[in-house]
Structure 1
Amino acid sequence: MSKKQELSILEEVVISKIYFIRGQKVMLDRDLSGLYDIDTKQLKRQVRRNMDRFPEDFMFEMTKEEFENWRCQFGTSNSSDKMGLRYVPFCFTEQGVAMLSSVLNSPTAIKVNIRIIRVFTKLRQALTDTVNLKLEIEEIKKKLSSHSKNIELVFSYLDELIEKKENPVPRPRVGFKTNRK
């Protein structure tokens, strides 16, 4: 498998691990630890040791209610399951994922972190492109609405011209009048 294919597969994996929670795109600690090839316990330990690096907009813990809803999505977690759903997970935003590279200093973590940040950037660009496309479509709709009004006006003028042609009004003759027949 080529290096480009490996990167593409990693990007797909990362995209599948991005969730929308509390109105933010986040990745869970268990997914990140899998990508970084470390235990979730170790990742959480490093984050807890450096909590001042992770403000609320970088990382947050799910609430009990969010956690219960999340567990219901996957079924009940048991002790042999390595899904990491027995404990409330940390949710990392894009900035939190970037901050993890300063906490986890392994070469693997740094490489994976770079790929994750690039995926987040691509997602942001896709969202921007989508918004721009929607704005352009709205602008086209406005123009079409304006064009349809103009076309209606043109047709009404054409109808008037056709009516005048069908019912010509006799015009007075212009010029000299002669008595000749």
Structure 2
Amino acid sequence: MRRLILMRHAKSSWADPGQRDHDRPLNKRGRKSAVLIGAWMKANGFLPDVALVSSARRTQETWAGIVSVTRAAPTTYLPELYHAGPEAMLAVLRAAPDVGTVLMLGHQPGVSAFACRLLAEPPGDEGIVNYPTAATAVIGFDVDGWEAVGWKAGRLVDFVIPRALE
């Protein structure tokens, strides 16, 4: 079984109104949330073999917070994940290396739309539809390779938001 860890970046800072969106860092709450999610991933054995991360600063800082409490995985920072929609995210996933677990870290509204389209069953958790900051879904696929993943092919293994871990 293949596993996708699908995550939205943690809470970002709006302290500098002139800052480009792509360059916004995490705020204090966001840094804490990234570490909480990393600890949850480690405790539950949801550790990626590879990470595909949007090139935005806030996604990179979210991944750094996770790695600070788990372990590093080969990471690719992808401009195409910055505000990507479901079709673009599926293309990135289908091109992923031949590993068991991929982490994809992106942005709303693409992350929730992608998750909902991947799941064979409608999500029972309203959080997946809203996908708050640092929300993380683990989705399983019974496929031989990532190139075979399609819509409605995934099974929700777990879903968590940082508030539930505090």
| TM-score category (smaller protein) | under 0.3
Scaled by the length of structure 1, the TM-score of the pair is: 0.24
Scaled by the length of structure 2, the TM-score of the pair is: 0.26
Query: Which has more helix, going by share of residues?
Result: 1
Larger Rg: 1
Which structure has more relative contact order (CA 8 Å, sep 6+)? It is: 2
